[in-house]
């Protein structure tokens, strides 16, 4: 019996180190947080997906009184992208979030982005993985006000993933 090691090399950077195209994608993810419907968690998440034809599809978390019926920002964006751009590969996804909890009324949401990046939940990783397995790597840009992490693919966020049966 022997040990195997799984290694993921990710990039850490600040916003001003991003390329202009990546900065734009992050801006779109931040903008998308404004469309979040999150009266229960008050956690506003936005995702922006760069498509292979250059368009950007966004999504935000949509909650529901029947909690499990809601959907995360990442899957909202991915399903939006797939439904409106069938056959076009997703190349990158950027994710940003802020919380209204503790945010004084009237202060701009832009000052309330999470300092550390938030990372997609397991269900969103699995859903995104299916598009990646079909169309090629989707880079993941996790925005935090203090630092940004960049993963080379969805699979790198989901080792030993299930893709087919
Ligand atoms: N949420 C997302 O939209 N994306 C994530 O990566 C983590 C969590 C949402 C789900 C729910 O509406 C709220 O954030 C609190 O979990």
Residue having the nearest C-alpha atom to atom 1 of ligand 1: 72
Residue 164 within a domain: no
Mutate which of 38, 47, 61 for ligand 1? The one with the most ligand atoms within 8 Å of its CB, which is 61
Residue 20 within a domain: yes
Atom of ligand 1 nearest to the CA of 121: 6
Residue having the nearest C-alpha atom to atom 10 of ligand 1: 72
pLDDT in tens, 33-84: 999 999 999 999 999 999 999 999 999 999 999 999 999 999 999 999 999 9
Residue 106 pLDDT: 74
Residue 6 within a domain: no
CATH number for the domain spanning 119: value is 3.40.140.10
Whether the pLDDT of residue 105 is over 90: the answer is: no
Å from CA of 43 to ligand 1 middle: 7
Catalytic residue among 63, 74, 132, 139: 74
pLDDT in tens, 106-137: 777 777 899 999 999 999 999 999 999 999 99
CB of 118 sitting under 6 A from ligand 1: yes
Residue 68 within a domain: yes
Residue 5 within a domain: no
Residue 2 within a domain: no
Whether the pLDDT of residue 101 is over 90: the answer is: no
Report the alpha-carbon distance of residue 149 to residue 151 in Å, rounded.
7
CB burial class (10 A; 0-12, 13-18, 19+) of residue 89? middle
Q: Structurally, how many domains does the chain consist of?
A: 1
Residue 58 pLDDT: 98
Whether the pLDDT of residue 164 is over 90: the answer is: no
Tell me which of 50-59, 96-105, 155-164 is least confident: 96-105
SS3 helix, strand, coil % of the chain, rounded to 5? 35, 25, 45
Residue 150 within a domain: yes
| Tokens read off for 42 | 């008050």
Tally the C-alpha atoms within 13 A of residue 148's C-alpha that lie toward its C-beta: 21
Report the alpha-carbon distance of residue 82 to residue 93 in Å, rounded.
13
Residue 1 within a domain: no
Range of the domain at 96: 11-157
Residue 91 pLDDT: 98
74 belongs to the catalytic site: yes
CB of 153 sitting under 6 A from ligand 1: no
């Amino acid at each position: 019996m022997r040990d195997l090691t799984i290694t993921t090399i990710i990039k850490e950077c600040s916003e001003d180190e991003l390329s202009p195209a990546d900065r734009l994608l992050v801006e779109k993810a931040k903008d998308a947080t404004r469309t979040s419907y999150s009266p229960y968690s008050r956690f506003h998440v936005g995702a922006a997906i760069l498509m292979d034809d250059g368009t950007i599809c966004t999504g935000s978390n949509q909650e529901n009184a029947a909690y499990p019926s809601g959907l995360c920002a990442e899957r909202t964006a991915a399903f939006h992208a797939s439904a409106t751009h069938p056959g076009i590969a997703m190349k990158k996804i950027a994710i940003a979030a802020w919380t209204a909890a503790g945010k004084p009324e009237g202060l701009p949401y832009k000052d309330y982005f999470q300092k550390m990046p938030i990372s997609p939940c397991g269900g969103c990783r699995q859903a995104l993985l299916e598009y990646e397995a079909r169309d090629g790597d989707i880079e993941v840009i996790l925005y935090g006000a203090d630092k940004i992490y960049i993963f080379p693919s969805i699979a790198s966020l989901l080792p030993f993933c299930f893709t087919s049966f």
